[in-house]
Amino acid sequence: MIVNKYWWKESVVYQIYPRSFMDSNGDGIGDLQGIISKLDYLKSLGIDVIWLSPVYQSPNDDNGYDISDYQEIMDEFGTMSDWEQLLADVHARGMKLIMDLVPNHTSDEHPWFIESRSSKDSPKRDWYIWRPGKNGKEPNNWESIFSGPAWKYDETTGEYYMHLFSARQPDLNWENPIVRHEIYNVMKWWLAKGIDGFRIDAITHIKKTAGLPDAANPEGKPYVPALEHHLNRPGIHDFLQEMKDEALSKYEAMTVGETPGVSPEDALEYVNEMTGKFNMVFQFELMEIDSGPGGKWDLKLWRLRDLKKVITRWQKGLEGKGWNSLYLENHDQPRSVSRFGDDHKYHKESAKMLATFFMMLQGTPYIYQGQEIGMTNVRFSSIDDYKDVEILNYYREALKEGKAGHDVMESIYSKGRDNARTPMQWDATQNAGFSSGTPWIKVNPNYGQINVQQQLQDPDSILHYYKRLIALRKQNPALIYGTYDLIAEENEKVYAYTRTFENETILVILNFTRETVPFELPDSLSNATAQVMIRNYQTDRSETIHSLILQPYEALVYRLN
Ligand code: NOJ
């Protein structure tokens, strides 16, 4: 078994979505100087690495994931010298910075695409994926991940281009070696500027089935997701190996690939410590436990059994061979306390329980801005208050298909990405202290109760609990390198597991319900003496673990002797 020690295994990452983090100039949009002003706050949390969602030049159809210049900074966020100051200030505090690389597509305003669309003879025509229509329709029946067809007709040349995401995010043609090398050059350029690595966007989509055939369509729908033709396709590892050889391996870069559609078995090919292309991948299986067969908007109640199964498969699947990334939230997902906890009565308890759950697993934890104070989902009554292209496209297409408006809104309330994109709640002043202007998206109305300033003052806050969890990982190698083992697999209410390293065993017990739950440990564990490392209730519990009565959303971490 390999337990090589690396700095990125021992790190805790904090993700910043710059548009919503901190606005320094009152235009209602977060910016680089805003981030710089909060670096001491981030340092005080104890985090090691900042992952910056895209800050490149972009017309913002998809908030920066539509890049029009990979080597310039978005005007709304500041200048390249602001960015250089940010990097220097992050490094000066002993932290690291990773950038978000978007290699699957560009903006339709990228000069490459402008040239590509200008004529069929353009030398850059083949940099994107152009096809003539079929019988007056799109070249195939693929559906965009953001609803509607994955093709857009372009009048200039009378052909269609492919866009797996929004129509303003044309897919690059990765079959073209010149395109691939342009992307590697961009990567090397940023690495040479001194960044510490990349989060790599939508990487599983870069390879498409040759010939771009129609996808199976038994129900005769106008468009189908066609994942079998553009998600983790055979041949993708040739591209990734080349990316590693040409760019990543030349630097000590930390890498995490965003890999929808990848199982733990597939993941080993990505992250095997000897032969993998990245250090880590973001798995999606956990994020799918509350989706029905119709995909993310098809709401389904999640079950603890499925959550345990997914986590255990990933923990055991990569054990000793690769390394997990651990996350419950990011800018694409709803807030975890609203999704897996209770954002009303047990807000504090359940947010802390969830923090314990994911931060005590084996892997590198990624905390998303606002998660550390238990920010919650939001319910805007009007669709006009939503800004996300995915939400707006879904709303339009779903109504077109005849879905009821209130059902569509319920899906958006549960799953919409804007849940994670409301401004960071810094304090109880106007606009949560995020901006002195009008924020680009409304602030969650609960900022008076949930904000950083209030939680800094309360030693029992979610924020202080996160700090303690981060510190605990630093002090206990078993929490980083220890082996994971699930216990009480069949229990429907309690999730319990151990972490074992050398001669040390740590026991984690989590009540995932709003009920009081009795819990018996197997004899092999219950006879040990237990010492509390952290817990989310202030109780005078006697430290016998023979038979426990867990309070709602209680989390307990013990060192066993
Ligand atoms: C995944 C990113 O996280 C998401 O925000 C974006 O919309 C898509 N990839 C397309 O770049």
pLDDT above 70: percentage of residues in the chain:
99
66 C-beta closer than 6 A to ligand 1: no
Mean pLDDT calculated for residue range 216-238: 97
At residue 231, the pLDDT reads 98
> Would you state the structure tokens that stand for residue 173, as one six-digit string?
């043609």
Mean pLDDT calculated for residue range 94-109: 98
Is 258 designated active site?
yes
Distance from C-alpha of 402 to C-alpha of 396, rounded to nearest angstrom: 10
- pTM to 2 decimals? 0.98
| The pLDDT of residue 299 is above 70 | yes
62 C-beta closer than 6 A to ligand 1: yes
187-202 residue pLDDT tens: 999 999 999 999 999 9
Distance 390 CA to ligand 1 centre (A): 10
Strand order in the sheet with 151-154: 130-131, 159-162, 151-154
201 C-beta closer than 6 A to ligand 1: yes
Ligand 1 atom, smallest distance to 146 CA: 7
Is 540 designated active site?
no
| The pLDDT of residue 2 is above 60 | no
Mean pLDDT calculated for residue range 240-263: 96
**547 pLDDT band (50/70/90 cuts)?**
confident
Distance 530 CA to ligand 1 centre (A): 44
**543 pLDDT band (50/70/90 cuts)?**
low
- Active-site option among 76, 201, 342, 388: 201
Ligand 1 atom, smallest distance to 258 CA: 1
Distance 65 CA to ligand 1 centre (A): 6
At residue 152, the pLDDT reads 98
Mean pLDDT calculated for residue range 251-278: 96
Distance 391 CA to ligand 1 centre (A): 13
In terms of Cα–Cα distance, which of 133, 291, 266, 292 is closest to 207?
Answer: 266
361 C-beta closer than 6 A to ligand 1: no
**540 pLDDT band (50/70/90 cuts)?**
low
Mean pLDDT calculated for residue range 349-367: 98
329 C-beta closer than 6 A to ligand 1: no
Ligand 1 atom, smallest distance to 62 CA: 7
| Whether 373 contacts 452, CB under 8 Å | yes
Kindly tell me the burial class for residue 190, based on how many C-beta atoms sit within 10 Å of its own C-beta (0-12, 13-18, 19 or more): buried
At residue 538, the pLDDT reads 87
202 C-beta closer than 6 A to ligand 1: yes
376-402 residue pLDDT tens: 999 999 999 999 999 999 999 999 999
| The pLDDT of residue 541 is above 70 | no
Phi, psi of 197 (to 5 degrees): 155, -170
At residue 542, the pLDDT reads 60
